[in-house]
Amino acid sequence: MQVPPNSDLTLGMVCLDKSEPGRTTWSMVADERFTNPGGVLQGGFLAAFCDSAMGAAAVTFVAGRKVIAANAEMKVSFLAPVPLDAVLTCFAAVVSGGARVAFVEATVTAGESTMVARATSTYLFRDR
């Protein structure tokens, strides 16, 4: 298993903190390669940012177990446009979970405090 995965490397995602089980904080820059013709970050890349952060939060939630966390469903609400070169931060946290499943939420901000997206997802755990 490659860590970090190629998708995180391609997007330029960096894990800033995973010290608390079930919580992670990530950063990435809105690169020109991922903008739409209007010059703002395309929503699919923002969703991928949320998915990676929430998946990592789910994996750290089961501290001590080696698992694969599979995304069963995900909802993303886009709250504001993300301009080119904006520094994004994603905070993801497990809201509820057990041995086989975790419900996770994420918030993405641009700059110091502009909330640009909220996401929720359900992850299923499989031992590896």
Provide the pLDDT for residue 8: 85
pLDDT of residue 21: 96
Position 107: which residue type? T
Pairing of strands 87-97, 14-17: unpaired
51 within a domain of the structure (yes/no): yes
62 part of a folded domain? yes
Query: What is the pLDDT at residue 2?
Result: 67
Amino acid in position 50: C
pTM for the predicted model, two decimal places? 0.94
Residue 40 lies in a domain: yes
User: Is residue 1 in a domain?
Assistant: no
Kindly state whether residue 102 falls inside one of the protein's structural domains: yes
Angstrom distance (rounded) from CA 127 to CA 41? 35
At 128 the pLDDT is 87
pLDDT of residue 4: 78
**CB atoms near residue 3 (< 10 Å):** 8
Whether 32 is covered by a domain: the verdict is yes
- Strands lying side by side in the sheet with 14-17: 14-17, 23-29, 87-97, 101-110, 114-127, 67-78
CATH number at residue 91: 3.10.129.10
47 found inside a domain: yes
* Total structural domains within the chain: 1
pLDDT value of position 1: 62
Listed as ranges, residues in the chain with pLDDT below 70 are 1-2
Residues with Cβ < 8 Å from 113, sequence gap 6 or more? Answer: none
82 in a structural domain: yes
Q: Which domain holds residue 61?
A: 6-127
